[in-house]
Structure 1
């Protein structure tokens, strides 16, 4: 058994990550292998990067780390791996924000990410699944969703069933953690898994999103090239793309939300390069004074490059799609005149 070693002064020069790197380097492949197997890909990359830049580590530091490690292990009758012990371990070797990111990822259904994903599922699809569940289970799930999304799901459920769910929500106390975990596990294993299988994305949708992010000239050049080689694909991509002109189809409240959240110089640039009817859509969403100030700003700009206007228009489209993804506005789905996406 190794003798106790006091903390060497040289240890202060090494960060938590560097200490972990030195320990793993000293353990080598055979002893350290089982530990490496428990790390995520990102953790392995970060730890490996630290090892590669570690340089010389004094023997006294290595000895201290090994003695400390072996002492902690030998003093335990058993090891208990859990989210909490994992989080404490990671906090000792990496920044807090990184620990939070990793824990949210590995917690899976018990983390915030699961409910974020569920909040992005359309109310019709979610209600179609929930109407076959116990009302108490549905009450727990709706309790965890954003109020606006929960309301839309509730309106899609059969009236008598929805009333039962509401009554249970009214009588609901704090949901026990083990019940919540069980519900989340079921959602992940049954609903989300089946949903992902059923919603294999059309590659044209992915390409349409990518083309939306291109500058106008590159976008047009790519689509023209596709017109020659795959005209049907080019036509489908065009139909799926959400463009600046599509913003004119949004409800006035959605336009107001975009105006509140956008960069005002970008808005002025975008409108300067747009037709008059498009300008009216945005000016009608502003106060009379704000609209006048915006017109004055546009006039004061003088001549601007068409490319700058196109880039500003693309930025507004991205903002609109981001607000739509967060459920703050409704976007008209370009694939259908009637359908709405949230």
Structure 2
């Protein structure tokens, strides 16, 4: 074998001996501060910890191995030509740099409903979907599952289940003592493999809903610019997004009890800034649901703050809307986009 070919083979072998996270560590070192900054800011806490630990314990890596890794990385990208960003390609790429179990955790977060634990994930699954799955399980298994999720979610699932089956589940929940760890782990594994994986494959989120959430995060000038451009390209899509967006002004559709619940949780300083840039009708609506003393104090706060940047108003209004969405997701208030339509649960 020629010396050059032998050297290349040796370099490739050295690169292959590195684990996925060690390969990522080498690439990040090679990218350096300037080019690596854009990557670091997209990593979550676990990824930062794993990658930092690998970098700290990497030891000396010869320049030939570094070059081999970078060439391999660039070669994989150039060989594909155009990039296709989807779940499968993302998983394949992560498997090149991260441990298998860590990749599984990340992809589960991407595919499944939001939540750190299995029980948090189940609490974010639509109750009709969860009930449809649970009605075919043993009542004791259902009792364990419902005892681990939020009470509000469990109540909605029980209401959908066949009555006799639901009563049997309730009786078992009442008689239930502590659940053995191995049984709980077995149920969690079954839910993850059979239910959550199938749900992830079956669920495809409406792209207009996703884009509406993105537009909600824009400041009003950026939002108007994008909406106007989108209307020129596709008025139908623009109209759909506008219908799905939930804005600060939509809080006027809350009932009195909902407004008062929101006001108890909304930061007072954010509320004052939000109302500073709101219409008089919106101010009257919010203050009309406050006591005279609280309304007077809020008015004084607004008048005392002087001119406020539009960007600060947008941020404050977005913060109040997020509080409302959190309250709605916990079942404390009900919010709807348009009067007379079905409620939108966030």
Instruction: Report the TM range for the smaller structure's normalisation.
Output: 0.5 to 0.7
Structure 1 position 325, deviation (Å): 4.0
Structure 1 position 322, deviation (Å): 3.5
For the Cα contact (< 8 Å) 1:240–1:335, is it kept in 2? no
Q: TM-score, normalised by structure 2?
A: 0.66
Q: Which of 214, 223, 228 lines up with 1:224 in the alignment?
A: 228
Q: Deviations over 1:71-101 (max 9, x none)?
A: xxxxxxxxxxxxxxxxxxxxxxxxxxxxxxx
Structure 1 position 142, deviation (Å): 0.7
- Which deviates more, 144-153 or 223-232? 144-153
Structure 1 unmatched ranges of 5 or more: 1-27, 56-101
Q: Which of 133, 148, 151 lines up with 2:155 in the alignment?
A: 151
The separation in 1 between residues aligned to 2:274 and 2:19, in whole angstroms, is 56
Which residue number in structure 2 is paired with residue 94 of structure 1?
none
Structure 1 position 245, deviation (Å): 1.6
Q: Verify: 1:237 aligned to 2:241, yes or no.
A: yes
Structure 1 position 143, deviation (Å): 0.3
The change in CA–CA distance for 1:266 and 1:35 in structure 2 (over 3 A counts) is closer
Q: Verify: 1:123 aligned to 2:127, yes or no.
A: yes
Structure 1 position 42, deviation (Å): 5.1
SS of the residue corresponding to residue 308 of structure 2 reads coil
The change in CA–CA distance for 1:277 and 1:133 in structure 2 (over 3 A counts) is farther
Which residue number in structure 2 is paired with residue 279 of structure 1?
283
Q: How does 1:23-38 map to 2 (within 5 A)?
A: 33=19
Which residue number in structure 1 is paired with residue 38 of structure 2?
none
For the Cα contact (< 8 Å) 1:267–1:312, is it kept in 2? yes
The separation in 1 between residues aligned to 2:20 and 2:154, in whole angstroms, is 44
Which residue number in structure 2 is paired with residue 254 of structure 1?
258
The change in CA–CA distance for 1:34 and 1:231 in structure 2 (over 3 A counts) is closer
Q: Deviations over 1:24-61 (max 9, x none)?
A: xxxx8687659969x99655521343257x79xxxxxx
Q: Verify: 1:187 aligned to 2:195, yes or no.
A: no
For the Cα contact (< 8 Å) 1:105–1:113, is it kept in 2? no
For the Cα contact (< 8 Å) 1:333–1:341, is it kept in 2? no
Q: Which of 24, 49, 52 lines up with 2:55 in the alignment?
A: 49
Structure 1 position 305, deviation (Å): 3.9
The separation in 1 between residues aligned to 2:176 and 2:337, in whole angstroms, is 37
The separation in 2 between residues aligned to 1:264 and 1:314, in whole angstroms, is 14
The change in CA–CA distance for 1:341 and 1:335 in structure 2 (over 3 A counts) is farther
For the Cα contact (< 8 Å) 2:22–2:55, is it kept in 1? no
Q: CA RMSD in A?
A: 3.4
For the Cα contact (< 8 Å) 2:140–2:172, is it kept in 1? yes
Structure 2 unmatched ranges of 5 or more: 1-13, 26-45, 61-101, 110-114
SS of the residue corresponding to residue 160 of structure 1 reads helix
For the Cα contact (< 8 Å) 2:248–2:320, is it kept in 1? yes
The change in CA–CA distance for 1:179 and 1:200 in structure 2 (over 3 A counts) is same
Q: How does 1:1-342 map to 2 (within 5 A)?
A: 33=19, 45-51=51-57, 105=105, 113-332=117-336, 337-342=341-346
Q: Deviations over 1:1-43 (max 9, x none)?
A: xxxxxxxxxxxxxxxxxxxxxxxxxxx8687659969x99655
